[in-house]
Amino acid sequence: MKRFVKILIALLLAGVVVVGSFGAGIVFYAQFIGPAMAASSAPPLPFSTGAGLNGPAKPPSGEAPAGFDTFWEAWFFLNESFYGQIPPDNERVYGAIRGMVASFGDPHTGFIDPVRAAVFSEDISGSFEGIGATIRLDEFGRLIIVDPMPGSPALKAGLRPGDIILEVDGQSIENLSLYEGVLLIRGPAGSTVVLTVFREGEIEPFDVPLVRAEIEIEVVESELLDPPGRIGYIRLAQFSGGASEKVAGALEDLLGRGATAIIFDLRSNPGGLLAEAVDVSALFVKEGVVVIEKLKGGEERRFEAAGRRHATLEVPLVVLTNAGSASASEIVAGAIQDYGRGTVIGTQTFGKGSVQWPHTLQDGSELRVTVAEWLTPSGRQIHGEGIAPDIEVEMTFEDVEQELDPQLAKAVEFLNEQVNP
């Protein structure tokens, strides 16, 4: 089997910084929300521990927020004075909500109008189709390519990390949330989308046409690498339901075939279910807290490794990460790193450590609100920081084009030194 460059299949969000959730290129499930979003079909996976909040919420009688008189004054003045076509009431209301949400300064708290919210609902049980790239929203509200995935339409079209998306099919994404921007990029396999992109070093923005594709994901792939090290290699594509059982099975198979060290590849894994992240961590960590959930008001919940299935607690271990490793991937990498159980090799992870809950509003629109964040066992912040590798090894666009994998090569070299000193 080919190495990472060949076997990495385009994943969906965020997503998803989003991370999460399922965001533009990330897979979303009902049980989790919220990193970066992968434009392949969903956002880094944002995830939550709850099913969301639904139903109308109203301020106490007679306690409408101060400033609403000014809002209505502006509303009626525009109605009476604007020269031109006045947009429908619902469009103006949605615009006001977007502005209010933006004032919180959190790219993962976002508003989705009813039409786009319905598309998200379909994705929970449908197939994933898109361009195969993870994207994020930067501090200026711009959509940034984080990780065009090998073999994906995004990579084939020449998109690179750091590219800034300005327009989708001629429509500006200015003032849209991460989720809404992602949904413009996604679409049925075989359809074409044109992204207007600005790239550092280029004088002018340029158009990139892409043909969307269906994203096929094999959750776990494993193999026994060539001697002399007899190193087992496992790649986990996402933390979907049953992922920990699949990883445990792969570990037992490789160890049974004589593997004396393990490479666990979490590159471009946007995240997924919290429960799977905890169970996968426990495969390598025998006891202790594997992740801390910090809630509003300072309350904390701690998730322990004890009492869960353990698979390999002794053999040398390397975890591979990159900028597309987000959310649940960062929980696992952080736990392994904090306990000194293994060595993290690659590049800084995405930094998606917040949790979003979806709130369906009465007209079918959706509000996704950050309600908590995750910390590593030692209390390190994941969100906005990411997990720094113990050994940093870059993987360039040219490496991908030439099917080279210096990160995997370094992991093999490192483990061979451990196994055959």
Active-site positions read: 327, 338, 352
Give buried/exposed letters for 34-48 (b at 16+ CB in 10 A, else e). Answer: bbbbbbbbbbbbbbb
- Of 400, 274, 373, 289, the C-alpha closest to 335 is 289
Using omega within 30 degrees of 0 as the cis cutoff, is the peptide bond preceding 150 cis?
no
Contacts with 408 (C-beta within 8 Å, 6 or more apart), sequence order: 3, 4, 233, 263, 265, 320
Are 331 and 351 a contacting pair, CB within 8 Å? no
Are 165 and 410 a contacting pair, CB within 8 Å? no
Contacts with 137 (C-beta within 8 Å, 6 or more apart), sequence order: 17, 18, 107, 143, 144, 177, 178, 181
Query: How many residues in the chain?
Result: 421
Neighbours of 204 (CB within 10 A): 6
